[in-house]
Amino acid sequence: MKGGKLWAFHLIAGFFLFLLLFSHLSLMHFSAGAAAPMSDPSNPLSWTSVLARSKDLIMTIIYTFFVGFGLYHGLYGLFGILTEINSLRPYRKAIGVLLVIFGVLFFLYGTFAAWYGYFTLQAG
């Protein structure tokens, strides 16, 4: 992979993924209520906590960025791996188009899931 704007964004996405993953692990696995039973509201995995996060606009935005950065970073890395294989080099353009299509579809699906929960719970 050559250095360029896409590669630089790959590195930036990796940095933000690191921050988001660290925050996710801190909240879900190392917070005070993480070892509590699932019915305990202080447990981040309890239904009450999940609903509270789903109603929060900031968490919905964070989930959307998490999906976007994760997909870009992963699919760009996969593109680099696949196009470095000699037998697949002639298909570089087709691989790129296919990964962009998959990336957009998965991003729309992930974004829909996060925002659907937000808007549905706001109405209820």
pLDDT tens, position by position, 73-106: 999 999 999 999 989 989 999 999 999 999 999 9
Q: What pLDDT shows up at residue 43? A: 83
**H helices within the chain, ranges in order?**
5-29, 47-55, 57-83, 92-123
Backbone angles phi, psi at 4, to 5 degrees: 180, -165
Burial 56-86 (b: 16+ CB within 10 A, else e): eeebbebbbebbbbbbbbbbbeebeebbeee
Position with higher pLDDT, 45 vs 119: 119
What is the domain range of residue 70? Answer: 5-123
Distance CA 54, CA 37 (A): 20
Q: What pLDDT shows up at residue 22? A: 93
Q: What pTM was estimated for this model as a whole?
A: 0.84
Per the structure, the count of domains in the chain is 1
Q: Is the pLDDT of residue 1 over 60?
A: no
Q: What pLDDT shows up at residue 31? A: 78
CATH number, domain containing residue 108: 1.20.1300
